[in-house]
Structure 1
Amino acid sequence: MGDEGGGRRGRTTSELQRLKKQAMEYYRQNGVPLQLEELLNSTFYLQPDDVYGHLANCFSKLAKPPTICKVVGKGVLDGLGLPTLQVEIFCTVQNFPKNICSVVISSHFEVRENSPPELVEVEEMGRNDAIRTALQWVNGPISTELQGLNPSNQAQVDQVLRAFFANKVQEDLERKALEDVLEDTPVLTPLPPVPLPPPPLPPTKKKGQKPRRRDTLIEKPVLPEEPPEPVLRGSMAVGAVSLAVAKASAILSSKPLYLNLALLKHSQELPLKLTVPLLMVSLLSCGKASPGKLNLMKEVICIPHPGLSARQGVEMLLEIQKQVNKTIEMVPPSKTEMKKGHNGGKKGQQQITGKMTHLGCLAINYDTMEQPILLLQGICANLGLELGTNLHLGINCAAHELMDYSKGKYEVMTGTFKSAAEMVDLYVDLINKYPSIIALIDPFRKEDSEQWDRVWGALGARCYIIAGAASGSISKHLEEGNLIIPLASGLIIKHTNQTTVSDLVEVTHLIDSKKCTAVFGSTEAESSDDSLVDLAVGLGVQFVKLGGLSRGERVTKYNRLLTIEEELAQDGALDVHEEHTFFCLNEEAATAAEALEVAAVTADE
């Protein structure tokens, strides 16, 4: 008898021998291998106070890796109360099914304000049909095909999803071909030909009358809008399941999602440091759906200086937003004051009012392009900040929403129309006057490629020219093996539809190889799922565009970004932005700008 220390303390020698004898008898009866017998002997001898806990730890390392046993799709609501898709991943862990995680994907449908009821009804039907089909895919064939796969093998999972989607595309093509055949019925009795009306008489020309100028000028026709890329209903099931599997893998390996994605991006070699993307925060909206005459600025975007942390940038912008709200809540002046011009400027100037948009920013009733910039400039001055130093601006022009096809021009303000060529001069003048604007998003429709070339040549060395709606889908980029965008500095990528996590990794590699700027953007109808931020950090994009600092579905993403920044800083893995400017001058753009200046000087001479 005696106390021999460690796990044996409190047990007599005879008791320990009895336990060992019982264990050995059990091993012989059950054919336990010698190595395992030695392990169990040491367990009973050294850990008698917590035998089962110690065994659980030992055997968990020897257990079969978790495998997907079920995928469940559910219909949920996004931040605007619109239907979208949630996906849950169940895995078999140590012989027991376990709910690992869930994700919610945002739909690709645009949020149209002030749309006619018939268009709203059509889009509502399309959205409901897309969700219904996605649920059928997830709860049926996708769940079956993914059973037994290891969630840590993202490439295999995504390959299964891609093959499944390709089959669905082929089925859809065959269905449409059959419908076309059924609709193509021959005409039994041809209709008699309709006689053509006589040609109109030429207008009589008065004696001495000179031809009008419009008769001599031939305007270049405006290219019609390209049809949108087809989106197969139900395709969001593929993107949602792929992201859910990536999140499940991260949870099972006890890693945050952004680290799991960084491993995928860097071929399973985790970089020593990760960078938090720079913020693009929507603060004001002066677009077509906003009150006031100004249409051009769908989003006035604030971009904190790269030297600031994400937390410092958010705190600065919250203070600016607070001051904007105070300005909006000012008591309207009396009619006498407005007549005298006491409203801070021009006679009869409209009082600032605003409402919160679905993008999480304020819609302002401004009438000129200078007004929102001057508002922010004045607020920054009151706070001791300087535009162009502490804070920079970006403009989401959303030009595709401004085209009046009956006139062939962009309606930049109510009743004020500009041709595509005139828009180039407008942007150059605006940035010459306000050099704190360092980004233009969608300054033209994607069809106006000549103007994209011109504005990039004129401004590409001074600000980012970003393709958002003018960019092709991620599937199109990967299919072509090239970026399907006009001449631009970069593009906005989004996780929607059939985009898998592997697709996102591939497209960011493609963007990096082209030395373009990647902006990871949220959709117009966002959910409260914050996985988008992990994607942006893990994939190493330069900017993240999450909307405004209001509305829960957007604020939750900013909170996630701040959490990731804190985690990286605590682990010593946060890579700070060393550059004091946002971008190095694009040599090609700078050369083009110099050529334009030389051409202008030569023309003047």
Structure 2
Amino acid sequence: KANYFSKFSKAPVICRLVGRKVLDGVGQPTLEVEIYCTVKNYEKRICSTVMSSHSQIPENALCETTEADEKERNDAVNTAVEWVNESLNTMLRDLKPTDQCKVDKMLGEYFTKKAEEKKEIQKQEEEEEAAATLALTSSTPSATALPGKKKAAKPGKKVAAAERMIPPAEPVEAVLCGSSAIGGTSLAIAKAGATISHIPLYLHIALLKCNQDSPKEITLPLPMVTLLNCEKFSPAKLKLVKEVMLIPPVQLSRKQGIERVLDIQKEMMRLLEPPGKAPQVLKRMSHLGCLIMECDNLEQPLLLMQTACNNIGLELGTDIYLAINCAAHELMDYVKGKYEILTGTFKSPDEMVDMYVELINKFPFIIALIDPLRKEVR
């Protein structure tokens, strides 16, 4: 009887959001959002979600740069926790966790309001700074320029400078401090809606897109798994390749694809292990769990990958494919206006394109190049 009447009970509603600061898989502070709902007149914890974070600060960065990044990250997480526990907790109370569209609309409006407040504060600070600069300039006597003719620059130098002109790097897009609270809360509520509806999260999200009509089929993206990390700041010569990724063929299931990647990883670890020495895997693993390899030329990691696949009976281009993350924006020498692909070897954008064409013709199992050129010159 209790089960019969339960279907007539009020639908679960959000009663509490809890935000807290936690550490992610690499020890960096990040945001966790926990959802509590009122279910049959009782408060019940439904789910929680942790926002993934990543660090773009290289391992050999200056202490000042690392400290500034850590402070910025901590400030952002602390602000996000404050938003979740205060404003968002009050704003989303008594809403149904299955009403994702309404929740996201309210979150979007809240974010817009915070962004406008930030712009207003920045505008006031700029006006105050300009006023202070003007007052300082007016109180300081200007230096009198000595008469004399300016030396005209040589025409040859002007032409040379013009030839070296390259598009400058785009400024880093500012991220609103605390904005991870918006994405974290939206994801947590989506997960809560899926839990209450007793369906997988991916299907719950698909139903939101398909207006509650169950899709006949769902296409998932192919996984890309980073296997090799070619450290650009190592003593080795190769700088062009940052990561080598494996892409399983489309006919494999997700589980089969990951198992195949793990088989290749085991063989790669065996090949990279110095003969006759005890395993020292931890010294050759990045903080993200990728094998680190120092290379002297572009073909070295690809040939090693080919050897590993051949040893376990796999064929590159049929049983597994490769993608290369070039991260070309990290290679630019702004003085020379060229990319330093190897230590002391520089190439122009046109030469880079020719090199990529030659590389793919030689290794046709490479089906993706990530960031092959700076976006400013594409």
- How far apart, in 2, do the equivalents of 1:361 and 1:213 lie? 47
SS in 1 for 2:242: strand
Q: Give the TM-score, by structure 1 length.
A: 0.58
The 5-angstrom pairing of residues 438-457 of structure 1 reads 438-449=367-378
Identity %: 51
Which of 191, 203, 222 is the aligned partner of 2:141?
191
User: Is 1:142 paired with 2:91?
Assistant: no
**Pairwise CA distance, 1:173:** 1.0
**Pairwise CA distance, 1:433:** 1.2
The 5-angstrom pairing of residues 90-489 of structure 1 reads 90-107=36-53, 109-183=55-129, 184-185=131-132, 186-187=134-135, 188-195=138-145, 199-200=150-151, 219=163, 221-290=165-234, 292-331=236-275, 355-449=284-378
**Residues 426-460 of structure 1, C-alpha deviation per residue, up to 9 Å, x if partnerless?**
111111111111100111111112xxxxxxxxxxx
Backbone CA RMSD of aligned residues: 2.5
* Runs of at least 5 residues in structure 2 that lack an aligned partner in the other structure: none
**Pairwise CA distance, 1:200:** 4.3
| Distance change (3 Å), C-alpha of 1:411 and 1:378 | same
**Residues 454-492 of structure 1, C-alpha deviation per residue, up to 9 Å, x if partnerless?**
xxxxxxxxxxxxxxxxxxxxxxxxxxxxxxxxxxxxxxx
AA at the equivalent of 2:175: V
| Higher Cα radius of gyration | 1
- How far apart, in 2, do the equivalents of 1:314 and 1:107 lie? 22
- How far apart, in 2, do the equivalents of 1:353 and 1:314 lie? 22
**Pairwise CA distance, 1:358:** 2.6
- How far apart, in 1, do the equivalents of 2:282 and 2:336 lie? 31
AA at the equivalent of 1:314: I
| Distance change (3 Å), C-alpha of 1:216 and 1:285 | closer
**Pairwise CA distance, 1:296:** 1.2
Q: Give the TM-score, by structure 2 length.
A: 0.91
AA at the equivalent of 1:432: N
**Pairwise CA distance, 1:398:** 0.8
SS in 1 for 2:11: coil
- How far apart, in 2, do the equivalents of 1:202 and 1:259 lie? 67
SS in 2 for 1:297: coil
- How far apart, in 1, do the equivalents of 2:296 and 2:352 lie? 17
- How far apart, in 2, do the equivalents of 1:157 and 1:426 lie? 49
**Residues 234-288 of structure 1, C-alpha deviation per residue, up to 9 Å, x if partnerless?**
0000000000000001111111111111111222111122334322111111141
Q: Is the 8 A contact 2:26 2:288 kept in 1?
A: no
**Pairwise CA distance, 1:384:** 2.1
* Runs of at least 5 residues in structure 1 that lack an aligned partner in the other structure: 1-53, 204-210, 334-351, 450-605
Q: Partner of 1:526 in structure 2?
A: none
SS in 2 for 1:279: coil
AA at the equivalent of 2:288: L
| Distance change (3 Å), C-alpha of 1:142 and 1:109 | farther
Q: Is the 8 A contact 1:77 1:84 kept in 2?
A: yes
Q: Is the 8 A contact 1:290 1:363 kept in 2?
A: no
Q: Is the 8 A contact 2:229 2:291 kept in 1?
A: yes
SS in 1 for 2:375: coil
Q: Partner of 1:542 in structure 2?
A: none
Q: Is the 8 A contact 2:57 2:66 kept in 1?
A: no
AA at the equivalent of 1:157: V
Q: Is the 8 A contact 1:89 1:101 kept in 2?
A: yes
**Pairwise CA distance, 1:110:** 2.2
**Residues 373-427 of structure 1, C-alpha deviation per residue, up to 9 Å, x if partnerless?**
0111122222222211112111011111111222222121222222222111111
- How far apart, in 1, do the equivalents of 2:173 and 2:86 lie? 27
- How far apart, in 2, do the equivalents of 1:74 and 1:143 lie? 13
| Distance change (3 Å), C-alpha of 1:217 and 1:74 | closer
Q: Partner of 1:476 in structure 2?
A: none
SS in 2 for 1:319: helix
SS in 1 for 2:124: helix
**Residues 154-176 of structure 1, C-alpha deviation per residue, up to 9 Å, x if partnerless?**
00000110111111011111111
- How far apart, in 2, do the equivalents of 1:405 and 1:177 lie? 32
| Distance change (3 Å), C-alpha of 1:431 and 1:166 | same
Q: Is the 8 A contact 1:90 1:98 kept in 2?
A: yes
Q: Partner of 2:12 in structure 1?
A: 66
**Pairwise CA distance, 1:192:** 2.1
